[in-house]
């Protein structure tokens, strides 16, 4: 499946997103920044990228991020933009942009070209099926599934930690996707963040103890990551991981 990509990315400050009520019915358009402490909700996409040895990718948010600075988060997260016809299209773009392009280059042609090629190579295989028996058949490209459709209709009330320490509420719906990375996947080829690969049991221990197992790296999870471990999505992640043939 191939996707058409925009020729340039709108800055976060100017980004406009669709807003929704608590039943995920569309209301209109709002600036991205206006969703903080708003009763309206937005739609986000989450990606959980797994390697061929059943480890999930986490990234550490930058020390100059708009919120949740320096905290460990899911593999990739992003917004569903007005131009996205499907959230599966949005998450493919987000994974390609956040992992494989240098944000310091901005909207340079090289970045756009890289995103286009990576997204074209990704294979979206629809809803995750527990009876999937051929998960590792193609080890040379990304394949991904959407998980738990019912979860995406549940309004999530979370919060963001601002640089001044203030907690601000945010309402959103999350469309979640699981990715199986190609065999060649390596964290030292990724851009924009610090990354760690960890199995799901190790992730639970890290959040409980505050330190990643067998390291001296502090695990300070984002509110989203804490929420995920206690949500219905967690069982889907375990199921997907167990289907990866090592």
CA 14 to chain centre: 21
User: Which tokens go with 206?
Assistant: 């890290």
Higher local confidence (pLDDT), 37 or 110: 37
2-16, 43-57, 80-94: range with lowest mean pLDDT: 2-16
Residue closest to 222 by CA, chosen among 144, 167, 155, 149: 167
pLDDT digits (tens, 9 = 90+) for 86-141: 899 899 999 998 998 876 555 555 667 788 888 888 999 999 987 876 677 677 88
How confident is residue 191, by pLDDT bands cut at 50, 70 and 90? confident
pLDDT digits (tens, 9 = 90+) for 24-34: 999 999 998 89
| pLDDT the model gives residue 111 | 67
How confident is residue 231, by pLDDT bands cut at 50, 70 and 90? very high
| pLDDT the model gives residue 6 | 39
| pLDDT the model gives residue 225 | 96
pLDDT > 70: percent of the chain: 87
User: Which tokens go with 49?
Assistant: 């990228």
| pLDDT the model gives residue 104 | 54
Q: Is the pLDDT of residue 81 over 50?
A: yes
DSSP per-residue letters across 164-210: TS-EEEEEEEEEEEEEE--TT--GGG--SSEEEEE-HHHHHHHHHHS
pTM for this structure? 0.89
Q: Is the pLDDT of residue 245 over 90?
A: no
Residues facing residue 73 across a β-bridge = 59
Q: Which backbone phi and psi does 119 adopt, to 5 degrees? A: -65, -40
pLDDT > 90: percent of the chain: 65
């Amino acid at each position: 499946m191939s996707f058409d990509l925009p020729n340039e990315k709108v800055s976060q400050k100017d980004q406009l997103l669709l807003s929704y009520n608590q039943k995920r019915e569309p209301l209109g358009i709002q600036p991205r920044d206006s969703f903080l402490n708003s009763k309206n909700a937005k739609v986000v996409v989450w990606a959980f990228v797994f390697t061929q040895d059943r480890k999930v990718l986490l990234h550490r948010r930058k020390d100059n991020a708009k919120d949740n600075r320096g905290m460990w988060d899911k593999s990739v997260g992003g917004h569903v933009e007005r131009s996205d016809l499907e959230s599966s299209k949005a998450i493919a773009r987000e994974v390609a942009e956040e992992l494989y392009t240098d944000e310091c280059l901005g909207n340079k042609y090289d970045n756009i070209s890289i995103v286009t090629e990576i997204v074209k190579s990704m294979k979206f295989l629809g809803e995750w099926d527990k009876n999937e028996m051929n998960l590792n058949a193609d080890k040379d490209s990304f394949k991904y599934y959407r998980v738990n459709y019912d979860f995406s209709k549940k309004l999530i009330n979370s919060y963001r930690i601002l640089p001044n320490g203030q907690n601000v509420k945010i309402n959103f719906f999350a469309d979640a996707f699981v990715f199986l990375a190609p065999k060649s996947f390596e964290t030292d080829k990724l851009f924009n963040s610090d990354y760690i690969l960890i199995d799901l049991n190790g992730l639970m221990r890290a959040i409980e103890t505050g330190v990643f197992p067998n390291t001296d790296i502090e695990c300070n999870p984002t509110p989203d990551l804490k929420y995920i471990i206690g949500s219905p999505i967690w069982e889907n992640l375990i199921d997907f991981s167990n289907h990866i043939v090592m």
